Structure 1
Amino acid sequence: MPHIPLPGHLPGITGLLEYSQESAQPIRVLTQLLLRGPSTLTPGERELIATIVSHQNECRFCTAAHTAAADLLLGDTETCHIMKQDIDAAPVSHKMKALLKIAGLVQVSGKAVTSESIAEAKHHGATDLEIHDTVLIAALFCLYNRYVDGMATVAPTDPDFYKGLGERLVSNGYNRLPNGYDHLK
């Protein structure tokens, strides 16, 4: 049960963003920019970063939501599953593996990111901007995971809920739906 009254039909971060639309606006703008804006990392790769951080933070809602979005964007359901078990075994580029490891270090602590982990990413072709964006996305999802879990939001157990949410994230990004969310009641 959430610590404050939230819209019952909007679990996870969606209910929090509807609860306080004023604070939600800059959150949505930043997330849209980082996960869907121009980048040399694909939207699917950026969703992998959100997924690995959420998974390592044990945030059930965010892990399921971003896994669903990544699965759709990547066109498979195996990449996220494998990545959560072993980044080195994931069917992604060596550059992406290095960036995912950096994201995992950010999840532990910003100070856990080492010169060696940065050098490894650069060795595999990561640009300074890709490293910057990886760290920022990872840090941002640490905030979201703590926001969602710290407010004790509801995390549905029905996989179909997350498939629908993943489809919304792919089609609408992180923008508020133009007509709100009443249709989800």
Structure 2
Amino acid sequence: MPHIPLPEGYPGIRSLFMYSPVTAEPLNHLVQTLLHDKNTSTLTPGERELIATYTSRLNECKYCATTHGAIAKFQLGGNAGLVNNILQLNVQEAELSDKMKALLAIAAKVQQSGKNVTKADIDHAKQAGATDKEIHDAVLIAAAFCMFNRYVDGLATWAPDDPAVYDAIGKQRAEEGYMTKPFVVSSH
């Protein structure tokens, strides 16, 4: 049960956005820029969603990890196996480029503490083909998702158990981005 009264039928961060539209607007713009807009990063939207998924999973935020995993699946052409590896924290076994593995390793360090990222981590990512901008984006996505995860879990929002709900959210967000209203989930 949420710690504060939230609108019924909206899971996770969506209930918080409905509760406080004034804070929802800039947060939606941030996540739209970080994850969905195609001209803001050389990482694909699917790759950026994987960073959000991985960070959220490391933070044990069920709603965010499952939602962004579903979005990544749609962004990556239905690659559920890859997303499942990320959700199970099996990055090394995942069918990912060395660059993405290095960026996910940096995201994992950011999830613990920004100060855990070392010059060796950055050098490794660059040797694997990551640009300065891609390293920047991975760090920013991981840092932002630590905030989002703590927002969602800090107010004990509702996270559905039905995988079909996440698939529906994933399909909608992959197609429309983050600036559209969420649909209502009928029951919990």
Q: How does 1:3-152 map to 2 (within 5 A)?
A: 3-37=3-37, 38=39, 39-75=41-77, 76-83=79-86, 84-152=88-156
- Quote the RMSD (CA, aligned, Å): 1.2
| Cross-structure match for 1:159 | 163
Per-residue deviation at 1:168?
A: 1.4
Q: How far is 1:184 from its partner?
A: 5.0
Cα 1:10/1:114, change in 2 over 3 Å: same
Q: How many residues align?
A: 182
Distance 1:112 1:79 in 2: 26
Alpha-carbon distance, 1:166 to partner: 0.4
Counterpart AA for 2:126: K
Give the share of equivalent positions with the same residue, in percent: 51
Is the 2:165–2:185 Cα contact (8 Å) retained in structure 1? Answer: no
Normalised TM-score (structure 1): 0.94
Would you say the 8 A contact 1:28–1:176 is kept in 2? no
Counterparts of 2:85 and 2:14, CA distance in 1 = 27
**Given residue 152 of structure 1, which amino acid in structure 2 is its aligned partner?**
A
Q: Distance between the aligned counterparts of 2:185 and 2:54, measured in 1?
A: 28
For 1:184 and 1:156, the matched residues in 2 are separated by 9
Following TM superposition, by how much is the alpha carbon of 1:171 offset from its aligned partner in structure 2, in angstroms? 1.4
Give the letter aligned to residue 145 of structure 1: N
Amino acid at match of 2:3: H
Taking the aligned partners of 2:60 and 2:47, their CA distance within structure 1 comes to 20
Q: Which runs of 4+ in 1 moved over 4 A?
A: none
2:72–2:83: 8 Å Cα contact kept in structure 1? yes
**Equivalents in 2 of 1:184, 1:12: separation in Å?**
11
State whether structure 2 residue 153 is matched by structure 1 residue 175.
no
Per the alignment, in what secondary structure is the counterpart of residue 156 of structure 1?
Answer: coil
Unaligned runs of at least 5 residues, structure 1: none
CA contact (8 A) 1:11 1:156 kept: yes
Q: Give, as a single letter, the amino acid of the residue that structure 1 aligns with 2:62.
A: R
Amino acid at match of 2:71: A
Runs (5+) with no aligned partner, structure 2: none
> Which amino acid is 1:25 matched to?
E
Q: Which amino acid aligns with 2:90?
A: D
TM-score of the superposed pair, with normalisation by structure 2: 0.93
Whether the 8 Å contact between 1:60 and 1:155 is mirrored in structure 2 is yes
